[in-house]
Structure 1
Amino acid sequence: MRTLLNVVWLVLAGIWLAIGYVLAGVVCCLLVVTIPFGIASFRIAAYALWPFGRTVVRDPDAGVPSTIGNVVWFVVAGVWLAAGHVLTAIPLFVSIIGIPLGVANLKLIPVSLLPLGARIVDVDDPEAFYRR
């Protein structure tokens, strides 16, 4: 079922979200200071391509630099990305088939708001929460 949902997601929303995150990551990597944001954008792009069967967990060892980076990201890009995910999820909720896709879109909001210090892991591998 996950594979089917991921394929439908990829066609309807995932490819466009991933392209947007990749473009943002490229721009961030061009500027040396924002390379951590670019790397986070690439991780979110991979998650946006295939979200079903994966989840986001917070890294307890992230520290102060990631918190400061998340505050900057939240102000500059996070609020706008979250608003975009909400606006994209609304039309997906209109049909019965789109409801899981809308939920997946809302599932992307926490990592789009605070990407630094987060890890994306498989839900089937509980040990992945503790591995690096």
Structure 2
Amino acid sequence: MNIRQCCGFGLGLLGTWFMWQVGVGLAHFIHSTYNVTIPAALMDPAVTLRISSALAAFLAGLAALTERKGGAWLAGLSTFMFACVALGVLQGRHDISVWRDDYLSLSILTILFLALVVLRRNSDEIDQPMHDPVEAS
């Protein structure tokens, strides 16, 4: 297992963790609020972005783990969506205990995304044969 596949495995675990957090949060929210239905709770932009980000992180991890193309850019999309959610929480001027976990998760997600992009570029550069410009003339 190479480093790129390890990053993919980490992304898959992080996506699963995000999905679990969204599910538990929704269950608590719906249980404590009697007038809210599941479709109404799912239409909240923050919840939709979190679910989409978790799904994209899981699929990016799966793509990177199986050496498919596009995994790094799915991870980038997931990072962007999760950053929008984290910035929304910070904009609410909540206590640090509310947004600290989101920013730690965002930093891990960003590191894994950048690792996938950099490692992909390095492997592409190594795979390409060297051409001598003098011989091409």
TM-score by shorter chain over 0.5: no
Query: Given the two structures, how large is their TM-score scaled by the length of structure 1?
Result: 0.40
Which is richer in helix? 2
Query: Given the two structures, how large is their TM-score scaled by the length of structure 2?
Result: 0.39
